[in-house]
Structure 1
């Protein structure tokens, strides 16, 4: 519907706010182009029957204009700001099947005697209902961008529940399986990434011709490089080097620093739940989204935010493969984003979902130049790629959640060694050679371990006892990645040498227990927890056991109990190599 063909109801005057010329560039003479001079409609002056149009990018990046009519105003939807109920119409909406995911942020204009005036942006739709009906977030509330939190659902009498227009997470080079790792990021957001789908990468020369204006599509980039993850929405306004988009939150993270890039709509797919856009994503950073607020995303043009550089090396039967990608430098996001990229690339290397063993080595560089190196292992019976990817984000999650200071992660170098064999053994039994041992000497513990589909192995580990340890002691024996099983024991401290500073936290990461280690800890009569032994094994150790030991004062022992050489034997009587603590 052309702007000149829209008329307001006769006899009604509308107060308008002239906000000046929008700083936009666009297609001169294009059919769907938004007005050059923007009048704003105060929502208090909107009445049922007002007519206008919305603008959004359609297939081929043509700006499409479609008619809208006001059906009602929700002055108090429980979300802290009003919403305007509209019905969309016209040939374009008929072709798309209704208001689509990816149209969030599409500017809506009403016709007045002074010209077309900006009402706000499409922000909510009604899944599994009339897809022509939508809710508009007022432009004044988008500009505030810091008011009350919008509800997950808004109840509209006669129409049911509305939810924010689903922001499709358009994925290039990443599987739906890997995208599932992103779900925790949306757990508290008022937006559901619906649907998760594959997209493409725009040709390199496309970005040079991209023009940013109201109605054009943009992608907020979470991961770029050999893996890409972006959320596509629509620009509402561009003015004075600032941008407003989406008409609702993305992740709802408040202050952020996320790059946004061009998006190129290739198709709009009708759906019984919510229609959705498909888009290719560009590479040129247009600016930074700085606020992810209840009513809008707000950003600044020509400013590129910091990111975390990730290099991933995979070593397996096919040799070494190297990849690189960048993730948003937001500690609320980068642990999951690093894991998501790792899963996609490990899947690509393996070419199948199967069990196996992986050893991961990290070098994490902080912005101050400090480095954290650590090693860990994991085994999984059916999906080693997923297990390794989830582990990949673990140290970053520890850094992100620390209570001492910002970690300021700058680079992550991750080397993953993959083995399709099951390298795991369960701890089946632990027996003390002697139930009474003198303090300062050593206890010998015979262990029976069951490797995967191999003969059981019996090993003896020598556990040194501190000279100040005495009385009845419980020895807890477990694999390094197995949670401590204390049963009915009451512990004075549940963590050994808990870090008290950021530096101590880094040291704890560097020296943390590995899954391929056997850990022996003592619980004293007073509930004190002390670690006595970490013994490396050539496989991941699972399971736990406990034994009761009487530790005698050294002067009460009949004879000194010297440490004996470690003895190893397979169940059938053969010998194996010894294993001792480090």
Structure 2
């Protein structure tokens, strides 16, 4: 008896431990039965599931307050509910909760997806599961029909502002749901307020705060919330999904970039139906048909915040591909590997140190140039000073299956060299992505950046020639006087050959940087017919940092497409000027006879000078 009494506290502790552990066990995902919206009534109570820490979902209470007709969009109603439970009371509705499944009587009702900004109680909007399924059960969209070929401006292709090609980010956040006056007494406390899609926490790995501050606003406008800089996911092998992969309530991550640099957005799985995954309950970017990596994840914690509580989630292995991003959620397929763009950046710093950064990005008309730009800026800033003059050489290739590489060769100098050098490779990439041409399949992008301190600017002040009368095919010596940034002058002599077909008369010789030459060119736009034409054009663009010698004369001509035709007969000029010709034909009064790139050293040149020659026989 004494031994039993002495063992009683131990037995009691074991019993209490067992009872407590049993209370923490989350039951299996409720049955596959779905509750139609017509059965949902105010006052119903149920449960929801989401991950607050680790990988296991936890349950909390949900009470239905009512239904808002057309709250999400036309014929897309919104259920309004109130959350309860220890964790829900602590965090309220938090960024990353999007997609959390709501169950009543074991039936799936929908996904927690909307919230009130600055709410004092955990009031949420719930997207009905029927709306989530029906929008993805519609017939898949056909291949995009191109009504008009993309047209590009040569000067923009020479520059570094890739947004002139992509246009502004056109992601459309879901419409607000405004509570009307006929919603009944249970919704009276929220009358006149506005629901917003729950913000999607966007985590940056390997990025400095300065880079995040510079580039995150593009994504924030689409409903993202920059919440943390967390460890990026190294490139992991694709994981074969199992029966327990991404079930309702599990944390899901959509990766925009992964590797040494990562960008990922976290949410919650609403329902798994075989290999089909439904999540979020509202758009990600509202991109329609997509191809984005879908990964498992583990949650570090949910951070309570006065402005907006948020989930900190770290992506694990990719297990599938998101294929649809629409008004009532996102949809993915398990087991399908996504298409990504492998990027490798090698940096030779001004101190002679070599650094290599490797990451993969999604392939999208806007997101890919943005991610490349931000990744390069972060890499440069992480290895070089941010203030002062810098010179950066950019060399690389964009590789595609069955097509020639696009060559990238640029040089930038001055206080803004880092920003311009980081943006410039995104220009040809944006052109390839936005050209609307079939047959472009990316296989990789490699860049070499060489950085040196100081400025290498040289401005062209004047030019002179050894004689003003020349004959066709002769060589004329041109002396160009430049000025360095500190004001010191220096001369360069160029031996230029007069065009062999130059007719007697006046001939203009212009020495100028590539930007000036392009702006003066009669050909400013072109519309590529196929990928090879676009690639050839990108590889033959003038460089704004180089010097060019151009022989030109006043002569009646025309621009046909992207080609210049000079010395046309008067009858042809009359036809072009009568207003009855179409198809991209434009008359000109100046014709370029010859153009050559000048080897003038490692400076970044700017300026323009012209001189008049007389061609004699």
Same fold (TM over 0.5): yes
Is the contact between residue 442 and residue 464 of structure 1 (CA under 8 Å) also seen in structure 2? yes
Residue of structure 2 equivalent to 1:217 = 251
Q: Distance in 2 between matches of 1:66 and 1:192?
A: 25
Q: Contact 1:379–1:422 at 8 Å: present in 2 too?
A: yes
Give how far 1:419 is off.
1.0
Task: Look up the match of 1:303.
Answer: 336
**Deviation for aligned residue 1:77:** 3.6
* Cα distance in 1 for residues equivalent to 2:194 and 2:605: 48
The answer for the alignment partner of 1:166 in structure 2 is: 199
Between 1 and 2, higher relative CO (CA 8 Å, sep ≥ 6) is seen in: 2
Shift of 1:37: 0.6
Question: Alpha-carbon deviation of 1:398?
Answer: 2.1
Paired position in structure 2 for 1:513: 542
Name the residue aligned to 1:7: none
Q: 2:305, 2:286 → 1: CA distance?
A: 26
Equivalent position SS for 2:224:
coil
For residue 307 of structure 2, give the secondary structure of its aligned residue in structure 1.
coil
Measured after TM superposition, the shift of residue 353 of structure 1 is 5.4
Question: Structure 1 or 2: larger helix share?
Answer: 2
With the length of structure 2 as denominator, give the TM-score of the two structures. 0.73
Within a 5 Å distance, the mapping from 1:115-514 to structure 2 comes to 115-130=105-120, 132-145=122-135, 151-157=174-180, 158-179=191-212, 182-183=215-216, 186=219, 191-201=222-232, 211-282=245-316, 284-316=317-349, 317-350=351-384, 354-368=388-402, 370-382=404-416, 384-428=417-461, 447-453=480-486, 455-459=488-492, 461=494, 464-466=497-499, 467-468=501-502, 477-481=511-515, 484-486=518-520, 493-495=523-525, 499-514=528-543
Q: Provide the rounded CA distance (Å) in 1 between the counterparts of 2:452 and 2:93.
A: 48
1:85 corresponds in structure 2 to 80
Kindly state the Cα deviation for residue 99 of structure 1 after the two structures are TM-superposed: 0.6
1:244 Cα deviation (Å)?
0.8
Say yes or no: does 1:538 pair with 2:601: yes
How far did residue 237 of structure 1 move?
A: 0.7
TM-fit CA distance, 1:351 = 6.3
Distance 1:434 1:241, change over 3 A: same
Unmatched runs of 5 consecutive residues or more in structure 1? 1-26, 561-582
Q: Unaligned stretches of 5+ in structure 2?
A: 1-20, 142-171, 181-190, 556-587
Given candidates 102, 108, 113, the residue that maps to 2:96 is 102
Please tell me whether the aligned partners of residues 145 and 291 of structure 1 are also in contact (alpha carbons under 8 angstroms): no
Q: 1:473 and 1:298, CA in 2 relative to 1: closer, same or farther beyond 3 A?
A: farther
- Alpha-carbon distance between aligned partners in 1 of 2:421 and 2:27, rounded to the nearest angstrom: 48
Q: How many residue pairs align between the two structures? A: 513
CA contact (8 A) 2:57 2:249 kept: yes
Higher mean C-alpha displacement, 45-54 vs 217-226: 45-54
The equivalent residue for 1:75 is 69
1:55 maps to 2:45: no
**Correspondence for 1:565:** none
Q: What is the alpha-carbon distance in structure 2 between the residues aligned to residue 370 and residue 534 of structure 1?
A: 23
CA contact (8 A) 2:394 2:450 kept: yes
Structure 1's 443 and 399: CA in aligned 2 closer, same or farther, altered over 3 A? farther
Q: Distance in 2 between the 1:28 and 1:397 partners?
A: 55
The Cα of 1:477 is off from its aligned counterpart by 5.0
1:485-539 Cα offsets, whole Å, 9 max, x none, are 45xxxx75325x8754422222222232234311345474534463623223434
Q: Is the 8 A contact 2:516 2:608 kept in 1?
A: no
Q: CA deviation at 1:106?
A: 1.0
| CA distances 1:418-437 after superposition (whole Å, capped 9, x unpaired) | 11221222345567787876
Task: Tell me how far 1:220 sits from its aligned partner.
Answer: 1.0
Structure 1 residues 269 and 139, CA, compared in 2 at 3 Å: closer, same or farther? same
Does the residue aligned with 2:118 lie in a helix, a strand or coil?
Answer: coil
Contact preservation (8 Å) 1:357, 1:420 = yes
Contact 2:251 2:296 in 1 (8 A): yes
Do the aligned partners of 2:37 and 2:128 also contact (CA within 8 Å) in 1? yes
Moved more, 166-175 or 514-523: 514-523
**Structure 2 vs 1, CA of residues 438 and 483 (structure 1 numbering), >3 Å: closer, same or farther?**
closer
8 Å contact 1:34–1:214 — kept in the other structure? Answer: no
Verify the 8 A CA contact 1:361 1:375 in the aligned structure 2: yes
Structure 1 residues 365 and 239: alpha-carbon distance in aligned structure 2, compared to 1, 3 A threshold: same
What's the CA shift string for 1:381-413, capped at 9, x where partnerless?
15x443322123222122212243342110112
CA RMSD of aligned residues (A): 3.6
Q: Does the 8 Å CA contact 2:512/2:547 hold for their aligned counterparts?
A: yes
Match of 1:12 in 2: none
CA shift in 2, pair 1:342/1:483, >3 Å: farther
1:36 aligns with 2:30: yes
| TM-aligned CA deviation for residue 376 of structure 1 | 1.4
Does 320-329 or 29-38 show the bigger shift?
29-38
